[in-house]
Structure 1
C-alpha cells in the first residue's frame, strides 16, 4: 500500500536530513506505529505519505514514495485526498467550517458524494467516536480533546484507504483515547484500512501496533515488531521499562501480558512499602479560589469550584475531556471568562486578584501556558521571543534562553516559532512564561508533543520550580506524568470537583487514571518504575 524507496528529505535550512536513504513497505491493513524523539523526523515521514513533503513543506525529496500505486511526486495531496486522510497535531488549525456537523461533512462535499451518503456517514462517525452530543457545537467552543476527536471524524467520513494520524491521543483523556484507538483498530481489522500513526505516549498505542518504525534522529528508520524494536532503544513506555527491570523476555506490551508474568515480582515486593508522600504544605495557601463559575452558551463549564493552592506543591487537575479543566485555569489566571467567584494570590502588598490586573502585571502573579502554546508566540524567531520575554519582565539578558535550554537543548535561535515541532513550541512558550517568575504556574496539557526524554526533563524542571517554593498546576490526561510528579490530584466532572487528595490515594482508586505499573501490581500501592527501582535496588 505504501512504499518508500531510498527516500531522503532535505530542507533549505542546511541541517541534517530528517530522512536519509529510507526504504520500507507498509502493507494494506497494517497499523504502523511511528516513534522517536521530538524533532527526529516523524512528522516529515507522515507528511511524505500524502505528498505534503515536498509539495507544501518545501525542501527536496530524493527517491520515491508511492501510495496505492501513485507516485507522490506526480500526485500532490489533492490527488490523494480520496485515498489518504491526514490528522495533524493541531486539530484547530485544520478546521475549515464552524460547527462539528459541518466539519464532518466538508470532506465529503469536496469529493461530491450524494447528500444521502453524507448524512449516513456523519451519523455513523458521530456514534463511532462518541461525539453525537457535540453535533451542533461551534468548533472553537470545544475542549482540545473534543476538537481532536472531531478532526479524526472529519477524515473518517471520507472512508480513506490510508489514515495518517499525528499524535491522535495527545489531548484525550484515558477513556476517550481508548475509544478512539478502538475505533481505529476496528478500521484496520474490519475494513482493511492502513493506519500510520505517530505517538509519543507509546503506553497507549503499542499493544495495538503490527509494526514499529523507530526514528533515532540520524535520518535512519528502524523497522520491526514493537517488542523487537523497543528491546534495543532507550525510548520505552513504563511496561517495557518494568519488563527490563524484572528481566522479562520478550518484553510485555499490554497490561494483561505483564500481569501474567508479575507473580515473582510481587513476591519480591512483599513487605516493601513505596516511598512516603512529600510532607503536607504550609497552612496558608498561595492562591485561594472560591465559588468559581464559568458559563458558555448552553453549558456551565465550571460550577462553583473552590481551590486552595500551596507553595512548593505540584497539583494535577484531571477529568474527562470537557470537564472544565481549561476553563478553570483561564478563570483563575484572569485572562478567561469568570462569571462568578473570587481569586486571591498572595502578594507583597496583600492578596491580589490577577483578573483585575493588566496582562503584563498578572503574569507576575500567575503564569499560564495554554493547550496551544503557539498562541503566546508572535515574533519572527526563537531568539526574539526570548529577548522580548527578558525585556518585559525586567530579567537579566539570557534568562529565558537558559530556561529554554533546559527543556529543548540546542534549539536554533533563528528558527521561526511556527516552524518548530509541537514539543519545541511548548518548551519556548513555557520558558517565556517562567521568565516572569510567577509564584503560581498553570500548565494546560504540558506534555503534548514531548517524548519520554523531554518529559523527564520537563518533570525535573517542574520539581525544581516546586522545590523553589512555586505552585504548579498541571491540567493533564497524562497519568504517567501525574504518577511521577504530582503531590495532589483534583478530579473534575461536569465542572465540579469530584475527588481531591494525595496522588496515590486518587490514582489507585480509579481504573481510568491508574498508571500502568499500578494496573500490573494491583492491589499493591506502586505507581511508577522509579519507585520499584529504588525499592529493589536501594544502592
Structure 2
C-alpha cells in the first residue's frame, strides 16, 4: 500500500530523511520510531503527499501510495484512500462541534446522508465519544480533542491511516481503547496504518513492522524485535530485556512475565540486601519526595472551577511542599488542566483560595513576578511562543527572567540538542516546540513550576534530560506539579501522585503506592516484576547492583 524507493527529503539543503526504502503492506500496522526531530513527521508527510506539496522542501526518489505516485498526485487526489491525523488536533478542526467534525470529511466526499449518520454512530461507539457528541470542540480536553480528530478521519473509511502520535494526549485507558480500535481495523478490515509514536510502551506490541530513524534521518525497517534490539529509542520492556539478556526480546508485558521469574528473584534479593533485611525487602525511597517537615510553597483550599454547567474542579484541597515533585493524574476530562490554570493564578476559579507562603494569591502578581513564583507550561506550548525565531525566544526569556545570556538556549540544548536557532517555533516538531516552552519557563527558576503534559512529543532521551532538570530544581528547594498521562515518566520523576476523577481528589499518596498495583497507571516494569516493588529499569539496575555487592567477589 505504501512504498518508498530511495526517498530523500531536504529543507534548505539539509536532509531530514535520507535514502529511505521500505514497503508497508495492506492490512499492516507499521510503527515509526526515532528521536525527537529525526524526521518522523517528514516521513509521514511524504506518505500522504503533504511533503513536499504543502511543506515545501525537495523530495527525491519515489513514493507510491495505493499505486499512485505522489509526484503526480496532490494530497486532495489521495483523500479517498488516505486519512491523516496530525500532532495538533486543533489545527485540523474545521467545525464547532463533535458531530459536525465527524461528518465533515464525508460531506466533502459526497457520502449519502443516511450512510453518514450510520458511520458517525459507529465511530462514536468505537472511540467512546457518544457522551461528547453535542459538545463544542473548544470545550473539550486535549485528550478528548485527540479522539475526535481520529474519529473525524475514520468516518471517511480510508484504506490507509497515517497518524502522528495519536495517543500522546490520551490517558492510559483511552490510549488502549484507541489502539484496540486501530488494531481491529487492521485485522478485520485490512486497513493499513502508518503510525509515529514516542510512547512505545503503548503501541509496540501491536506493530507488524517498525521503521527506526536515526537522528540524521537514516531509516531501518524490519520486524519489531529485530529493529528495536538496536534502536536508540526503546520502551521499558525492551530496555529490561536488554538488561536481562532475554532472547528473543519480549515486546509485551505478557511475554516478559513468562520469562521474568529468575530476574524477579534476583531483584527481590537485591532490594533485601539494599534494605539490610531478609528477602522481604522494600522499594527504595523516591527522589521526588520532599525533605521531612518541608514548608508548603503553594496551598489550595476548597478550590472550584466551573465552565457553565460543567463543574471541572470540585473542592480540591492541595498543599505542595518545597522540594517535592507531585504528579497529577486522571483520565481525560478529570480536571487536571483546569486545576493547573487555577493554581497558576491565570485561570478561572469559581470558589476557594490559592496562596503562597506569604499569603499572596498568585492571581494578584504581575506577570514578571509571577513567572518567578508560579510558572505554568501549558499543554499547548505555542501559547508561550510569539517571536519569529528560536534564538529570539531564548533571548527574550533570558531578559524577562533576568538570567544570564544563553541560559534558555543552554536549557533547550540539554533537552533536545541540535535545534537550529534561526528556525521559526511553528516549524519545529511538537516535541521540540514543547522543549522550547519548558526552557523558557525554567530560565526563571520559578519556586513553583506547573507542567501540563510536558513529555508530549519527547523521546526517551529528552524525557531523561527533563527528569534531570526537574530533579535539579527539586534539590534546590523548588516545587513541581506535573499533570501527565505518561506513567513511565511519572514513575521516574514523582515522589507523590494526586489522582483526580470528576474534578475531585480520589487518591493522594506516595508514587509507588498509587502506581505499583494500579491496572491502569502501573508502569511496564512494575507489571512485569510484580509483586516486587520496583517501578523503573533504573530501580532494577540498582537492585541488581546491590545484590551483586552483597554477594561479594566470586
Query: What TM-score bracket applies, with the shorter chain setting the length?
Result: over 0.9
Looking at structure 2, the residues matched to 431 and 279 of structure 1 have their Cα atoms a distance apart, in angstroms, of 24
The correspondence for 1:204, drawn from 188, 202, 205, is 202
- Secondary structure of 2:372's counterpart equals coil
Alpha carbons 1:174, 1:477 under 8 Å: kept: yes
Q: Does the alignment pair 1:523 with 2:531?
A: yes
The structural deviation recorded for 1:396 is 2.3
> 3-state SS of the aligned residue for 1:473?
strand
Q: 1:24 Cα deviation (Å)?
A: 1.2
Which among 304, 308, 314 is matched to residue 303 of structure 1? 314
Aligned partners of 1:444 and 1:176: how far apart in 2?
18
Q: Secondary structure at the match of 2:533?
A: coil
1:76-106 per-residue CA deviation (whole Å, 9 max, x = no partner) reads 1111111100000111111111111110000
From 278, 285, 307, the counterpart of 1:276: 285
Alignment of 1:75-90 (within 5 A): 75-90=73-88
Cα deviation per residue 1:492-533 (whole Å; 9 max; x = unaligned)?
000000000001111123110001011111111111110110
- Structure 2 partner of 1:181: 179
Secondary structure (helix, strand or coil) at the match of 1:291 reads: strand
Maintained 8 Å contact 2:214/2:232:
no
CA contact (8 A) 1:235 1:452 kept: yes
Could you tell me which residue of structure 2 aligns to residue 18 of structure 1? 16
1:418 paired with 2:426, answer yes
Corresponding residue to 2:362 among 342, 354, 368: 354
TM-score by length of 2: 0.95
What does residue 413 of structure 2 align with?
A: 405
Which range is displaced more, 486-495 or 281-290? 281-290
* 2: CA distance, partners of 1:496 / 1:402: 39
Which residue in the other structure is 2:58 paired with? 60
Change in Cα spacing, 1:279 to 1:97, as seen in structure 2 (3 Å) is: closer
Measure the CA separation in 2 of the matches of 1:388 and 1:218.
Answer: 30
Equivalent residue for 2:47, pick from 39, 46, 49: 49
> Do the aligned partners of 1:281 and 1:312 also contact (CA within 8 Å) in 2?
no
TM-score (norm 1): 0.97
Provide the C-alpha distance between the structure 1 equivalents of 2:194 and 2:530, rounded to a whole number of angstroms. Answer: 33
Corresponding residue of 2:459: 451
> Contact 1:492 / 1:498 at 8 angstroms: preserved in 2?
yes
Unmatched 5+ stretches in structure 1: none
> For the residues of structure 2 that align with 1:393 and 1:131, how far apart are their CA atoms?
43
Give the equivalent residue in structure 1 for 2:404: 396
Q: Does 1:288 align with 2:265?
A: no
- How far is the alpha carbon of 1:270 from its aligned partner? 3.2
Question: 1:154: which partner in 2?
Answer: 152
How far apart are residue 267 of structure 1 and its match?
2.0
Tell me what 1:496 maps to: 504
| 1:192 Cα offset (Å) | 0.3
Report if the CA contact (8 A) 1:281-1:310 is conserved: no
| Higher deviation after alignment, 212-221 or 182-191 | 212-221
1:324 counterpart (307, 331, 335): 335
State the 1:280 CA deviation.
4.5
1:107–1:158: 8 Å Cα contact kept in structure 2? yes
Partner of 1:537: 545
Runs (4 or more) in structure 1 with deviation over 6 Å come to none
Partners of 2:290 and 2:321 within 8 A in 1? no
8 Å contact kept, 2:290–2:322 = no
Q: 1:2 — aligned with what?
A: 2
Shift of 1:363: 1.7
SS at match of 1:276: coil
Residue-by-residue CA offset, 1:102-127 (whole Å, 9 max, x unaligned): 10000001101111111111110000
Distance 2:92 2:359 in 1: 42
Q: CA deviation at 1:55?
A: 0.3
| Conservation of the 8 A alpha-carbon contact between 2:449 and 2:481 | yes
Q: Please, which of 226, 229, 232 is the counterpart of residue 231 of structure 1?
A: 229
CA contact (8 A) 1:281 1:311 kept: no
Kept in 1: contact 2:445–2:473 (CA 8 A): no
Distance (Å, rounded) in 2 between the aligned partners of 1:477 and 1:37: 20
CA–CA separation in structure 2 for the residues paired with 1:252 and 1:199: 19
**2:276 paired residue number:** none
Cα distance in structure 2, aligned partners of 1:169 and 1:23: 27
Q: Distance in 1 between matches of 2:232 and 2:70?
A: 33
Are 1:473 and 2:481 matched, yes or no? yes
Q: Note the C-alpha offset of 1:279.
A: 5.7
CA distance in 1, matches of 2:197, 2:53: 24
SS of the residue corresponding to residue 438 of structure 2 reads helix
**2:275 equivalent in structure 1:** none
Greater alpha carbon shift after TM alignment, 469-478 vs 261-270: 261-270
Q: Match for residue 274 of structure 2?
A: none
Is the contact between residue 288 and residue 308 of structure 1 (CA under 8 Å) also seen in structure 2? yes
2:81/2:160 contact within 8 Å kept? yes
Which residue of the partner structure matches residue 240 of structure 2?
242
**Partner SS state of residue 296, structure 2:** coil
Aligned to 2:37, the other structure's residue is in SS state coil
Q: Distance in 1 between matches of 2:362 and 2:285?
A: 35
